[in-house]
Homo-oligomer: A and B are copies of this chain.
Amino acid sequence: MLAMPVTTQRTVFFLSDRTGITAEALGHSLLTQFEGVEFKQLTLPFIDSPTKAQDAVDTINQAHRDDGSRPLLFSTLVDAEVRSLISTSEGMMFDFFDTFINPLEAELGVRSSHAVGRSHGMGTYASYKVRIDAVNFALANDDGITTVNFPHADIILIGVSRCGKTPTCLYLALQVGTLAANYPITEEDLEFTDLPKVLRPHRARLFGLTIDPIRLQQIRTERRPNSRYATIEQCRREVAAVEELYRREKIPFLDTSTVSIEEIATTIMHMTNLKRRMQR
C-alpha cells in the first residue's frame, strides 16, 4: 500500500433518493466557505433501494482508498434503511434529514411521513401547465418579436442587445412560472428622450437590465466580431444612454454584469414584488 498522500483534495458525494438538486445546493453553499481545499464533487442521485445504497457505499469506500482521506457525504436521503446502509460507509455523513427532522417533529407535534421523493412537488399537471405556458410565453414574446401580448405579461424586461434579457425571461418562466416578455432598446430608440411608444402603456411592469460596457463588448464580440455593434465606444454609448433613460423614466433596473441568472431573477422578483405563479 502506498503512503497516504498529503493532499487538500477531498471527494464529496451528494446523495439523494431523487435528483440530488437539494443536496447539491446545500453542500455547495457550505463548500464554498472553504478556500484552499479542492473538492471533487460527485452526485449519486436516485438511491432508492438497498442495492443502490450498497453500490453507493462501495463507490464511497473506493474514493476513500484513492484519496487517502475520507469523503464528505451530503445527504437528503429519507428512507431509514438506505440511510442506515450509507452510514456504514467510510465517509463523513452530513445528514440533512436526520439533523432537522426530529426537532421539526417535536415542534409541530406531527410525525413526519418519511416518504421518499417529495422534495420536488412539481410533477402535477397544474404546475406543469403553468411552467409550459410560461416557457411558451417567453419564447413567443422574446426580443420584441411581437408586443401584442404585453398586456398579459407579468413583467417586461428591457435593455440593450445582449444584456441578458432572454435567459432571465426563460429562467423566470421555468423556475417560477412568470409570464416574462422582453423588448430590446435599440440605438434608434435611444435617440429619443421618451420611452419607445409601445412600452408606454406598460410602464408599471417594465424592468431594466444594464451591463458593464466591457462585458457587453466581450459578449457582442463573440456574436459579431469586428462589427461596429461590438466596439467598446458603441457599447459605452448605448449603456450610458439606456441607464439615463431608466433614471429619467424612473424604471427600476439592475446591473447584470457580475451576478448569476438566479440572482438576477430573484432580485427582480424582490424589487418588483412579483409573485410566484408556481406552487412550491
Contact between B263 and A19, CB atoms less than 8 A apart: yes
Q: Does chain B have a CB within 8 A of A131?
A: yes
Nearest CB of B to A135, in Å: 5
Known: A118-B33, A215-B125. A22 touches B25 (CB 8 A): yes
Q: Does chain B have a CB within 8 A of A18?
A: yes
Interface residues of A in 122-169 (CB under 8 A from B): 122-123, 125, 127-129, 131-132, 135, 139, 164, 166-167
Question: How far apart sit A139 and B45, CA to CA, in the bound complex (Å)?
Answer: 28
**Which stretch from A103-111, A196-204, A239-247 is at the chain B interface?**
A103-111
Contact between B28 and A119, CB atoms less than 8 A apart: yes
Known: A104-B30, A132-B167, A260-B120. A218 touches B18 (CB 8 A): no
Known: A22-B26, A29-B118, A107-B72. A131 touches B263 (CB 8 A): no
Interface residues of A (CB under 8 A from B): 8, 10, 18-22, 24-26, 28-30, 32-37, 41, 45-46, 70, 72, 76, 78, 92, 94, 96-97, 99-101, 103-104, 107-108, 110, 112-115, 118-123, 125, 127-129, 131-132, 135, 139, 164, 166-167, 170-171, 174, 215, 218-219, 222, 258-263, 265-267, 270, 280
